[in-house]
Amino acid sequence: MFAGMAKGKEMHFSNQLRSMVYASLMSALIAVGAFVSIPIGPVPIVMQNLFVLLAGLLLGGNRAAAAVGIYLLAGACGLPVFAGGTGGLGRLLGPTGGYLFGFLAAAYLVGKAAEHSRGRLIPELMAMVAASLIVYLFGVPWLKFVTGMDWQKAVAVGMVPFLAGDAVKIAAARAVAGSLRPILSLQPVPPREEKVG
């Protein structure tokens, strides 16, 4: 009985450790995505949101939000993890700050949808589309407020140029998640059967 309880606790600890490692890895990938940056105006084209979506698909809501939270905290502390190799609170409060905070909500939404969809394509695609819109819901008003643009210009420079790329990133995130899920399973691994004699 006690051996079974000990194995159960060991598996639980192992899953928690694995979850923390995956969340940290996704934080690092989101940071790497920031370095793939094409400046086209106040809001650059970046790969961060691809990894935010991927974090949600692979980690679930709470772990994906934790991964994005670690990323934002690292950036707020001054580590150069934001677009263009920048960091600091000034970047979080600048024109693109709303998009960065939107990543947190997006990762959580996709993660929760992934937990309930059981790998079904359509619900996950719909969740990623909704999550991408949530990023704009945070980002565009913030951009308008910080820069003083009117609504039309804020939408024109802060959303419209990125929609086609978002569709590609959504498709890529789903394809990569489908390949990685069997490898990165967060489910407990059954104990090996020991041979007797």
pLDDT tens figures, 47-93? 999 999 999 999 999 999 999 999 999 999 999 999 888 999 999 99
Q: Report CA 159 to chain centroid distance, whole Å.
A: 19
Q: What's the Rg (C-alpha) of the chain?
A: 19
pLDDT-derived band of residue 42, with 50, 70 and 90 as boundaries? confident
Model pLDDT, residue 150? 97
Other C-beta atoms closer than 10 Å to the C-beta of 178 total 13
d(C-alpha 139, C-alpha 34), whole Å: 16
Domains of the chain: 2-180 (1.10.1760.20)
Could you say which DSSP state residue 186 is in?
Answer: -
Model pLDDT, residue 17? 84
pTM of the predicted structure, to 2 decimals: 0.85
**Residue the block writes with tokens 């939000």:** 65
Model pLDDT, residue 86? 92
Distances (CA, A) of 184 to 19, 21, 106: 10, 11, 21
**Are 140 and 154 in contact, with CB atoms under 8 Å apart?**
yes
